Structure 1
């Protein structure tokens, strides 16, 4: 592992120096409650609102839609939030930790799915951000797509501390703007008539639940990227609590508001719905709210670019050692930005109509990974790893770990009959009239298999490697 050094560790640097490498204890800092606003603002973006349109579009009443959203988001956030504890315990970005379960090279399997998630969200955010700016500026995607992406890349280049700072202040703006918008939605918009209010549908309820759960589970691949600078002895319950509160509360609020707006105004254009609702306060207020939302999109694009860079560099490093330098970070971020712009420019015009399928695909690929990763951290290795061996080709974790790979693959395969997508419906999902419960199957099978497989691990050899690793990294055998 190539590790960054500094003549003055205590001095603040504008541009983050670390990438996929270990953050030593001497550089740890931060406040636990800051995880709350970080994940609130990170999740309080227009694509989150789009998830809440599904229930009303499928004939589900607002009340049942809100219940499905609340249950789904809270369920998905449970898995997402528990990854936060891995950051301070290991001092590593989220996805590179998976080498312990999948092997140094075997981890490229979940890495591919993860990069797909990051780039997909960047593309969604770029398109929506450009549409938001189009309310007051010429709507030219060939100009705004590169500009918005470049702004997000600059934020990501500065890195961890700037992302936390922006997200924290965006939370205050978003809470004020959307508190007013939410009040307007209930006081200024006419409730749907009985004939258009919708009702109960088991299929629609499960679809809405799955979308909300899958959306928040997708954030699991980000989490410890933004908690790895916290002190190693940070309180796990408090860290998990603040992460959970920020991510779950924002999802329930914005998806629920999306359900209300879709049922009262109709349509599935998030920008138009927000503008029309906000303008009930005074003409132009809706535009202000949309522009605040656009700023939040640029910020979360920076978060997505940052995560995509870390994951991509981790994947390349598995086959060819990559130095953990600022230059590598910048090159990786620029490459991610170029790919995102090209995809956004040339995708079909109905891409946003496929948002639900994208969210479900994320759920399918990430559920087996999060099950394996969390079972390993909490039930198998109890948060204790030989950090230096994660970066070594001949470390105790090896290049290919059959336990994680088999558990992940089997977990994914058994989910296929339960898939319910716009272009494919599995046989069991078909019998359930399109309802999707694949996430439950994937979690149980992948997590259960990995736990059983891990009973044959050589814990004594790993304990020796951990002791040597800790002495090498910190010069002490324990915290």
Structure 2
């Protein structure tokens, strides 16, 4: 449905040259994927739901997740309380991502392009935020991967980052099948690597049995820790159907849901537990912490290499989804080129984060890149439910929906209103909202944003007549 994706007046063949293109035809087909935001035809679909476990498991085995786990201990929680916060936040954030992932096989379309159904031309708003977020995630993850590679090879920090960014950019250029195949292999490699790190931590590294936070401060720290964990798993929601759009339409949606949910929860909880357990030795320099835990020799080298490879795995997905987001904005750039651009822009952001207080800048970027997502999830979720109701439970007919012009006002009102309502509840190093301060640092902004978007948008969308 070309008209559902672009509105720039280009001839059909010109649009096809930019937004369509070569597609992988089977598992292991590693040709460069030129196909962009155009729907994937049913004849080109392949694969099974089990792929979703590995594609959502391997990219989360990064030191970014480990460092996130240390935050709970740094806020004064004991190990058990921080673990409960991490599990709760991760599961809550993973549920929307797992639901959205099932839309890929039904439509053959990526998540941001699919959001045109709800937002219409206003999709440029979440599209721009998603593209900027993919670049920010490149930096959040590339920071640790580049540091690990630099330590392993004896390079300056910037050289390690440059090599990691180049490798992930190359995978993003290759596209969908290359990303899936890499994650299948790295699921086993990284699982072994992080198991070795966990095994070595058992010798002499002890979790925090008690915490320094008490009473209301402890409750606030619990909420903030769970919100940070939630932000990790929810951050994949705007990417979700990007990595299921080649699955056949008949693929079991329950299996897709559970494979996605289990992949996200198992990986994020595992790495954050390492952070909770080893907070005393990992701190903000997690690559150095891994080196200390594993020691020198082959084990230390293997650990550092695994950290670097994990960054490449995760950021390849950021660059791939970033390329689809850029096309959704109407930028007439071939998908492989757009993926390379996303990787290139992440490089200076890594250097900025590394130049000063890494821990503070890391937490600030981590939270800010996700504050817009709850409102986005609420809007697209309500719109999808409304369309299903209109069609008696059936998914949207894309050929039919391409002729409809959704009202721009309601989704923008809900999206912007949700973010505005969340501001007083935010807690970052740059800004602490008055409500968050009164609640001893408890950051409830994600929950508030979702509920406000739901309340604002649902009555308008569910009552709207079909046009």
TM-score for the superposition, normalised by structure 2 = 0.88
CA contact (8 A) 1:79 1:370 kept: yes
Q: Distance in 2 between matches of 1:253 and 1:417?
A: 32
The DSSP-based 3-state class of the residue aligned with 1:246 is helix
Match of 1:121 in 2: 137
Partner Cα distance (1:127, 1:10) in 2: 34
CA deviations over 1:204-257 (Å, ceiling 9, x no partner): 111100000011111101111100000112111110000000011101110111
Task: Indicate if the aligned counterparts of 2:61 and 2:268 stay in contact, CA closer than 8 A.
Answer: yes
Query: Which of 335, 338, 341 does residue 335 from structure 1 map onto?
Result: 341
**Does the C-alpha gap of structure 1 residues 249 and 383 become closer, same or farther in structure 2, counting only changes over 3 Å?**
farther
CA separation of 1:334 and 1:179: change in aligned 2, threshold 3 A: closer
Mapped contact 2:425–2:434 kept (Cα < 8 A): yes
Provide the C-alpha distance between the structure 2 equivalents of 1:442 and 1:244, rounded to a whole number of angstroms: 22
Select the residue among 285, 297, 307 that pairs with 1:293: 307
The answer for the alignment partner of 1:157 in structure 2 is: 173
- 1:378 equivalent to 2:385? Answer yes
| Distance in 2 between residues matched to 1:429 and 1:7, nearest whole Å | 48
Counterparts of 1:142 and 1:61, CA distance in 2: 36
- Once the two structures are TM-superposed, the CA of residue 288 in structure 1 deviates from its matched residue by 1.1
1:430 match: 437
Deviation of 1:448 (Å) = 2.8
CA deviation after TM superposition for structure 1 residue 5, in Å: 6.7
The answer for the alignment partner of 1:38 in structure 2 is 55
How many Å separate the matches in 2 of 1:401 and 1:430? Answer: 35
Q: Tell whether the 8 Å contact from 1:130 to 1:139 is kept in structure 2 after alignment.
A: no
- Please show how residues 397-416 of structure 1 align to structure 2 within 5 Å: 397-398=405-406, 401-416=408-423
**Gap runs ≥5 in structure 1:** 462-479
Compute the TM-score of the two structures, normalised by the length of structure 1.
Answer: 0.86
Whether the aligned pair in 1 keeps the contact of 2:174 and 2:336 (CA below 8 Å) is no
Counterpart Cα distance in 2 of 1:266 and 1:26: 49
Task: Provide the residue aligned with 1:213 in structure 2.
Answer: 230
Alignment of 1:241-260 (within 5 A): 241-260=258-277
1:198: how far off?
6.7
- Do the aligned partners of 2:146 and 2:163 also contact (CA within 8 Å) in 1? no
* 1:106 aligned counterpart, secondary structure: helix
Q: Distance in 1 between matches of 2:317 and 2:357?
A: 22
| Alpha-carbon distance in structure 1 between the residues aligned to 2:205 and 2:283 | 14
Q: Is residue 415–residue 438 contact of structure 1 (8 Å, CA) maintained in 2?
A: yes
Aligned to 2:398: 387
**Helix, strand or coil at the partner of 1:52:** helix
Q: Which structure 2 residues correspond to residues 37-436 of structure 1 after superposition, within 5 A?
A: 37-103=54-120, 105-191=121-207, 201-263=218-280, 265=281, 267-279=283-295, 283-316=297-330, 322=332, 328-346=334-352, 349-350=355-356, 352-353=358-359, 354-381=361-388, 384-388=395-399, 395-398=403-406, 401-436=408-443
Q: Distance in 1 between matches of 2:111 and 2:345?
A: 22
Measured in 2, the distance between the counterparts of 1:162 and 1:225 equals 13
Specify the SS of the correspondent of 2:278: helix
Q: 1:435 to 1:130 in 2, by over 3 A?
A: same
Contact persistence 2:208–2:277 (CA under 8 A)? no
Q: Write the distance in 2 (CA, Å) between the matches of 1:236 and 1:443.
A: 24
Of 451, 461, 464, the match for 1:454: 461
Alignment check: 8 A CA contact 1:125 1:297 kept: yes
Offset at residue 174 of structure 1 (A): 1.3
Classify the secondary structure of the residue corresponding to 2:31. Answer: coil
**1:471 corresponds to which residue?**
none
Check whether the contact 1:131–1:139 (CA below 8 A) recurs between aligned residues.
Answer: no
8-17 or 270-279, which deviates more: 8-17
Provide the C-alpha distance between the structure 2 equivalents of 1:335 and 1:23, rounded to a whole number of angstroms.
23
Q: Distance in 2 between matches of 1:151 and 1:428?
A: 43
Distance, in Å, in 1 between the alignment partners of 2:21 and 2:373 is 34
Taking a change above 3 Å as real, the CA distance of residues 8 and 61 of structure 1, as seen in their structure-2 partners, is closer
Look up the SS of the partner of 2:334 in the other structure.
Answer: helix
> 8 Å contact 2:97–2:237 — kept in the other structure?
yes
Distance 2:159 2:197 in 1: 30
Quote the residue 2:10 is aligned against: none
- Please give the per-residue CA displacement for 1:61-109, whole angstroms capped at 9, x wherever unaligned: 0111111001100110011111111101111011111111111x20111
**Is contact 1:51–1:212 with CA below 8 Å preserved after alignment?**
yes
Unaligned 5+ runs, structure 2: 3-14
Q: Distance in 1 between matches of 2:219 and 2:329?
A: 41
Aligned Cα root-mean-square deviation (Å): 2.5
Sort the Cα spacing of 1:141 and 1:134 in 2 relative to 1 into closer, same or farther, 3 A. Answer: closer
Structure 1 residues 438 and 21, CA gap change in structure 2 (3 angstroms): same
